[in-house]
Amino acid sequence: MDIYFLGGGNMAEAIAGGLVKQDGYRVCIADCSIEKRERLARELGVRVSEKLPALNAEDVLVLAVKPQDMQAACADVQTNGALVLSVAAGLGINTLSRCLGGTRRIVRVMPNTPAGVGLGVSGMFAGEGAGEADKRLAQNVMAAVGETVWLPSEAQMHAITAVSGSGPAYVFYLMNALQTAAVQQGFDEATARRLSLATFKGAAALAELSGEDFSILQQNVTSKGGTTAAAIEAFNAHRLPEAVAAGVEACAARSREIAQQFKAV
């Protein structure tokens, strides 16, 4: 199967890198930058081109250009019935369809950056022009770089953006905060980073292995009146859970704002 990418940015590279490790996929990346094309061809072993070749209905086209560049990038694209996957944040099915000459065989995808190491999670929504076979195909493509979650409505693309799409940044933010706190407790930078990274990595692995609710796992570490309880009390006093919820809502709200802006495209 031929899978074409329009745009060779970080997410395209991550998805293509996962696909080339699977059997049955032939990947081609179209990008206007010759330097990027040469690097992708060298590092991933994929075909590259400045523009997309002629497509057909058995192909998959992944739109991986910036949202603000989508209309111009798609000006000369003829999908010819190919299944279209879009990883462009904020661009709805209707907008994408207008950019592509009216095709409705479109699946929107919101991946996240851990896709680059095969541990991503992608929120997915299929437009009414994409059938069950298209959904299975789209899922197989994104499964090459991690887990997939199908959304019941396009509106939930904003929510998945706020939770898992932007979620790695929240985790890195907290990792950095713990590293900074470790330095304040007297550890050198390298040791502080190692402690923070190992703590997050180990906790995530334990949570996945145990299958327990996160709240139960927290309680298992938190003895009444103990040291961990003192830390949790301080977090609650500073309203950390509310701050996280507010951040997620702010992200979702911004996603909705961007979508409104692009409706005029």
Annotated binding site for NADP(+): 6-11, 64-67
From the list 127, 147, 131, 129, the residue with the least C-alpha distance to 139 is 147
Bridge pairing between strands 106-110 and 120-126? antiparallel
253, 159 Cβ separation under 8 angstroms: no
Interacting residues of 118 by C-beta distance below 8 A, sequence separation 6+:
18, 144, 145, 146
Q: How far apart are CA 193 and CA 209, in angstroms?
A: 24
Name the residue type at position 111.
Answer: P
Binding site: residue ranges? Answer: 6-11, 64-67
64, 91 Cβ separation under 8 angstroms: no
| Rounded alpha-carbon distances, angstroms, from residue 182 to 195, 198, 218 | 8, 13, 20
138, 109 Cβ separation under 8 angstroms: yes
Q: What are the residues facing 120 on neighbouring strands?
A: 146
Q: DSSP string of 91-131?
A: --HHHHHHHTTT---EEEEE--GGGGGT-EEEEEEE-TT--
Helix (H) or strand (E) holding 186: none
